[in-house]
Structure 1
Amino acid sequence: MNNMNDEIVYGKNPVIELLKSGKPVNKVLLLSENKNLRNQEIISHLEERNIPYQFVTREVLDRQAQRERHQGILAYVAATEYAEVEDILALAEQRREDPFILMLDEIEDPHNLGALLRTVDAVGAHGVIIPKRRSVSLTGTVAKTSAGAVEHVLVARVSNLVQTIKELKKKGCWVSGAEAGGQDVFSADLTGPRVIVIGSEGRGISRLLRENCDELVSLPMNGKVTSLNASVAGSLVLYEVLRQRRYSK
């Protein structure tokens, strides 16, 4: 369930007006009892804008709306506007740099996403790509954890990561997935147009996405622990890309 630090809009008319406004919406919850024509106008808006929605019980809506009159619907408003993948590529072109993009596969912890946005800003990467489903979105917690970076980093939210990778490859990007068993990241060539893929906290990179990476890279692990937190691992790989870009010139 979404974090209570998200801004929540509830009530049928306010949610409809929110959707008509074009403002970024993370997700909409609808009362499962109302799976009928009463919700058809709202569902049409949601599907037209490709916004995730879910039918839930009245108890869930009551809890999320803190007992306010929600009329069987509430929406989670994004902490900031989402970008398009084209915006990220345009920023790289504007800076006259090779694209440097972070793609996150089903990262569910808002603290991990916030920390990674902070690193993305620090290394000068051009943006982040996240999936629309099974992933944390730009919530209030993410914004807070990012220490303001959410206002400076372009984040694109896409329906299909695999399709997005294929499109980026056509534009000349090389895709490196961070996964155990891959080539030592410190000996890999990470220069040139680059997409770094970081997998979920528990499962890593999904099979289809992994199969569409050009290479897999991993961090050397000399201790007893066999994996690192997603934001730590992602930050180390991003800084290795920055190091190579800076010193290979």
Structure 2
Amino acid sequence: MGAEPLMAGNSQRRGRSDGAGKKRATAGTGGKNRRSLAGRGATPPAEARPGHPAQRRAAADQRQRADRARARAKSEEQPELLLGRNPVVEALRARIPATSLYVVTGDNLRSTDERIAEALALAADRGLPLLEVGKAEFDRMSQGALHQGIGLQVPPYDYAHPEDLLDLARNSGRPPLIVALDGVTDPRNLGAVVRSAAAFDAHGVVVPQRRAVGMTASAWRTSAGAAARIPVARAVNLARALGTYQDEGLVTVGLAGDGDVDLHEFDGFADPACLVVGAEGTGLSRLVRERCEVVVRIPIDRDTESLNVSVAAGIALYAAAAARR
């Protein structure tokens, strides 16, 4: 038999047309084509698309933040070198814990500069080792910072646990009074708050482990020795630590410029309390503020935007001390 001649309407291809030019029905796709046309939802942002330049930049930024956090945590676990004649003398006068005093070899200012002479005498009285180093080596140790030929090595601070402050309060015979700092990053502010807390009979200060400054040599120096008399605790989660204080009967009192009650109208400081102070500018974080049972404000002149965090904490601590008298 000869092959059937190809004529209009007898093609064997799928979707062939009949003689009238219409396509014949073919086997169904089971909705595959319909699903493929349905789309895949909203287009994700550029930062979430694998391989997109914006995603690579976001990942690099995240790695850098993690590296900085690890470096900061590591540096806080290492001894700190306090540099400069005035800072070293002030630290020794305040009896900041120290392990050794460094002096540049052959520095002819030892006999003529009163601050270096006093530093040497104070270190000798405490039995601190005196280590002489060459200028080039000391430049390397100080990473190029101005050292004026002298430095004091300060060990890492030995932090208390937040619950240790409760134990200290129970043994004191006074209602607990604790200060919690949220997001304070200036060591001088931390040192000044520690000094005020000691002056007004607080039982301790709590700082968060992340996104906040710790007890550096600068904070020690600003505390003027108060850090040797009052403990500083470090909380992994400050909001959770405040919850623990509430469970133990402490009222958590936030301090903010937009507080609900004027400080002089608040009458809860005579009872066990935790004063919670945020950083100047940013104030209390959302989670920490939610843990505050009351938020008080210090009435100030309307032309003054805010008070320094250490000044504000000092005023509130004075009010607490007055209420307890």
> CA offsets, 1:127-185, max 9 Å, x none?
01100111110100000010001111111101101111111100000000001222100
SS at the partner of 1:111? Answer: helix
Write 1 or 2 for the structure with the bigger share of strand: 1
SS at the partner of 1:186? Answer: helix
Task: Give the superposition deviation at 1:80.
Answer: 3.0
**Does the 8 Å CA contact 1:78/1:139 hold for their aligned counterparts?**
no
TM-score by length of 1: 0.69
> Which residue among 141, 160, 171 is the counterpart of 1:94?
171
For residues 155 and 294 of structure 2, the distance between their equivalents in structure 1, rounded to whole angstroms, comes to 33
**Does the 8 Å CA contact 1:98/1:193 hold for their aligned counterparts?**
yes
Aligned counterparts, 1:19-34, within 5 A: none
- Does residue 166 of the first structure (1) align with residue 243 of the second (2)? yes
Task: Give the superposition deviation at 1:7.
Answer: 3.1
The answer to which of 188-197 and 218-227 deviates more is: 218-227
- Does residue 193 of the first structure (1) align with residue 272 of the second (2)? yes
Corresponding residue of 2:5 = none
For residues 176 and 275 of structure 2, the distance between their equivalents in structure 1, rounded to whole angstroms, comes to 11
Aligned counterparts, 1:109-124, within 5 A: 109-124=186-201
Corresponding residue of 2:227 = 150
**Does the 8 Å CA contact 1:79/1:143 hold for their aligned counterparts?**
no
Corresponding residue of 1:231 = 310
> Which residue among 79, 82, 86 is the counterpart of 1:7?
79
Task: Give the superposition deviation at 1:91.
Answer: 1.2
Taking a change above 3 Å as real, the CA distance of residues 147 and 219 of structure 1, as seen in their structure-2 partners, is same
Identical positions, percent: 39
* Amino acid in structure 1 at the alignment position of 2:272: P
Aligned counterparts, 1:237-248, within 5 A: 237-246=316-325
For residues 245 and 321 of structure 2, the distance between their equivalents in structure 1, rounded to whole angstroms, comes to 20
For residues 173 and 144 of structure 1, the distance between their equivalents in structure 2, rounded to whole angstroms, comes to 30
RMSD of aligned residue pairs (Cα, Å): 2.5
Structure whose CA Rg is larger: 2
* Amino acid in structure 1 at the alignment position of 2:177: F
Taking a change above 3 Å as real, the CA distance of residues 202 and 93 of structure 1, as seen in their structure-2 partners, is same
- Does residue 133 of the first structure (1) align with residue 205 of the second (2)? no
- Does residue 178 of the first structure (1) align with residue 255 of the second (2)? yes
Taking a change above 3 Å as real, the CA distance of residues 192 and 161 of structure 1, as seen in their structure-2 partners, is same
For residues 196 and 140 of structure 2, the distance between their equivalents in structure 1, rounded to whole angstroms, comes to 34
- Does residue 207 of the first structure (1) align with residue 286 of the second (2)? yes
Task: Give the superposition deviation at 1:90.
Answer: 1.2
SS at the partner of 1:181? Answer: coil
SS at the partner of 1:120? Answer: helix
For residues 122 and 187 of structure 1, the distance between their equivalents in structure 2, rounded to whole angstroms, comes to 23
For residues 227 and 136 of structure 1, the distance between their equivalents in structure 2, rounded to whole angstroms, comes to 21
SS at the partner of 2:246? Answer: helix
Taking a change above 3 Å as real, the CA distance of residues 224 and 138 of structure 1, as seen in their structure-2 partners, is same
- How many pairs are equivalent? 185
> CA offsets, 1:207-243, max 9 Å, x none?
1111110000000012411210000001000110000
